[in-house]
Amino acid sequence: DGGITQSPKYLFRKEGQNVTLSCEQNLNHDAMYWYRQDPGQGLRLIYYSQIVNDFQKGDIAEGYSVSREKKESFPLTVTSAQKNPTAFYLCALKGGDTQYFGPGTRLTVL
């Protein structure tokens, strides 16, 4: 929390629609991350970006896309190709060896 903002807190979409989740930070950190969490599970890395205009796939990138046009922003798009998009999505940034997390967005696809 603190300087990491994720909006909205809850998001509902119809099946087949793309949806973009917002992650903004005002802490001037370079590295940002997106994770997915399913009920009762740990987090899995979707994408990360170490610098503007550069990003890398994580463990479960299929069906997701990201952009990093500004240092402050790292939006995640959940595309219609993602078979099970309903989940809790967490954004994080890195300070030293530690990752700091935002409050999350709970996405429900109906």
**Sites for other proteins among residues 12-41 (CB under 8 A):** 31, 33, 40-41
Q: How far is the CB of 101 from other proteins (least distance, A)?
A: 4
Only one of the segments 15-23, 64-72, 78-86, 100-108 lies at the binding site for other proteins (rule: CB under 8 A); that segment is 100-108
Q: What share of the chain is helix, strand, coil (3-state, %, to 5)?
A: 0, 55, 45
Q: CA triplet 69, 84, 91: central angle to 5 degrees?
A: 35
> Is 103 one of the binding residues for other proteins (CB under 8 A)?
yes
Taking the CB of residue 5, how many other CB atoms lie within 10 A of it? 16
Pick the closer one to other proteins by CB: 18 or 38.
Answer: 38
Only one of the segments 20-28, 68-76, 79-87, 88-96 lies at the binding site for other proteins (rule: CB under 8 A); that segment is 88-96
Question: CA-to-CA distance for 32 and 26, rounded, in angstroms?
Answer: 12
Residues that bind other proteins (CB under 8 A): 1, 4, 31, 33, 40-45, 48, 50, 56, 58-59, 88, 90, 92, 94, 97-104, 106
